[in-house]
A = this chain, B = another copy of it.
Amino acid sequence: MSSNIEIKHIEKSKIESVDFNNLPFGSVFSDHMLVCDYKDGKWQTPVIEPYAPISLDPSAKIFHYGQSIFEGMKAYKDAEGNTLLFRPLDNCKRLNKSAERLVIPQIPEDVFMDGLKALLKLDEAWIPKNDGSSLYIRPFMFASGNGFHASPANAYKLIICTAPSGAYFAGKVKVLIEEKYARAANGGVGFAKAGGNYAAQFYPTQLAIEKGYNQVIWTDDNTHEYIEEAGAMNIFIRINDTLITSPTSDRILDGITRKSVIQIAEDMNIDVEVRKISVSEVIAAAQSGSLKEMFGAGTAAVISPIAGFGYQGTDYDLPELDKPFAGTLKKAITDIQTNKAEDPYGWRVVVK
């Protein structure tokens, strides 16, 4: 590990105050955070310091021009007490892909990985051991440079915070296929984990929640005829025994859980099709009975089974299956993540 990290220890840990048997999602924070500043044209020495408020000038561009990106990751403990990460370099690479599109300077992979590992070692006691819980990791980067000119900032911060967390969703979710609003433009930033992509979804999601749904399934902004993603998750649709998901594009996030699900499903000899899927195909399948399952895939929820969906004022229920793909795939992926199963892919990384 690089020695080039400054560490400022907390005076007294807060860990005694946390009930690890009743963890919410992402609202209890560990003792420390990693902060790395970009200024004068380069990334400075990363500092691990007590989790504490950040101070910014009111003209900092994060407040005005939305230059912000993030990642979601999880750390687990296995039975031997090892700290495990899942495909962490993929998160770093995606963070840098988002950074490029948002004109935020890219973070060197070794700075990111060494800083993350040092943070996890220092706050190791914060990693939950209960099944279904994990240490949610939130790396984020934003414009800290000042001024009201609508142009990229000259200073940025990378921060990595961690939060011991329980499940993101409790149980199955009911979704609404969107017909009016859209998440992403062709040639826009939908593929990036940009902050603005999330705020843009809140209003249509709120309308869907008022109608009794949990989440929106986004469709393309031009025709609203093709299924894209769920905003916080990619979407998989099972018709008969074929699992279908939309191809990634400049509008759709290249989800790490998504691509892991595709790989595992293929290796289980499930027929996987990565192709455009139209709303009318889904409706026809629901009507004929060939629509067996829908589920979301993402780091926070891992795999989130969908109970049913609404479209054009009609609700469609999905069948209760004995052995749904969702359950089989969720077990396979979480077993790899938590070292309960072999990892033939080399996805699991032990933090040493």
Hey, which bits of chain A sit against chain B, CB under 8 A?
25-27, 29, 33, 51-59, 62-68, 70, 72, 100-103, 136, 138, 140, 142-143, 146-152, 159, 161, 163, 165, 168, 178, 180-189, 194-200, 202-206, 221-222, 231-232, 300
Inter-chain contact B187/A196, CB cutoff 8 Å: no
Inter-chain contact B202/A58, CB cutoff 8 Å: no
Q: A64-B68, A64-B140, A66-B66 are known contacts. Are A59 and B29 too (CB-CB below 8 A)?
A: yes
Bound-state Cα–Cα, A165 to B101, Å: 30
Rounded to whole Å, the gap between the CB of A40 and the closest CB of chain B is 17
Inter-chain contact B53/A159, CB cutoff 8 Å: no
Inter-chain contact A26/B194, CB cutoff 8 Å: no
The residue of chain B having its C-beta at the shortest distance from the C-beta of A148 within the complex is B26
Known interface pairs A181-B187, A182-B185; 12 further A-B residue pairs with C-beta atoms within 8 A, sorted by A's residue number: A27-B148, A58-B159, A62-B68, A62-B195, A66-B66, A66-B198, A101-B203, A103-B203, A151-B205, A184-B185, A195-B195, A221-B221
The residue of chain B having its C-beta at the shortest distance from the C-beta of A102 within the complex is B199
Bound-state Cα–Cα, A161 to B58, Å: 8
Q: Which residues of B contact A64 (CB under 8 A)?
A: 68, 70, 138, 140, 195, 198
Choose from B100, B140, B142, B222 the contact partner of A222 (Cβ within 8 Å): B222
Inter-chain contact A187/B221, CB cutoff 8 Å: yes
Rounded to whole Å, the gap between the CB of A147 and the closest CB of chain B is 4
Inter-chain contact B58/A195, CB cutoff 8 Å: no
Q: Which residues of B contact A67 (CB under 8 A)?
A: 199, 202
Q: A27-B148, A149-B26, A152-B202 are known contacts. Are A59 and B161 too (CB-CB below 8 A)?
A: yes
Inter-chain contact B103/A195, CB cutoff 8 Å: no
Rounded to whole Å, the gap between the CB of A264 and the closest CB of chain B is 25
Rounded to whole Å, the gap between the CB of A151 and the closest CB of chain B is 7
Can you pick out 24 interface pairs between chain A and chain B where the beta carbons lie within 8 Å of each other? A26-B59, A27-B148, A27-B149, A33-B58, A53-B58, A54-B55, A54-B56, A62-B63, A62-B195, A63-B195, A64-B70, A65-B195, A65-B199, A151-B202, A180-B187, A181-B187, A182-B187, A183-B185, A184-B185, A185-B186, A188-B200, A195-B196, A196-B200, A221-B221
Inter-chain contact A27/B203, CB cutoff 8 Å: no
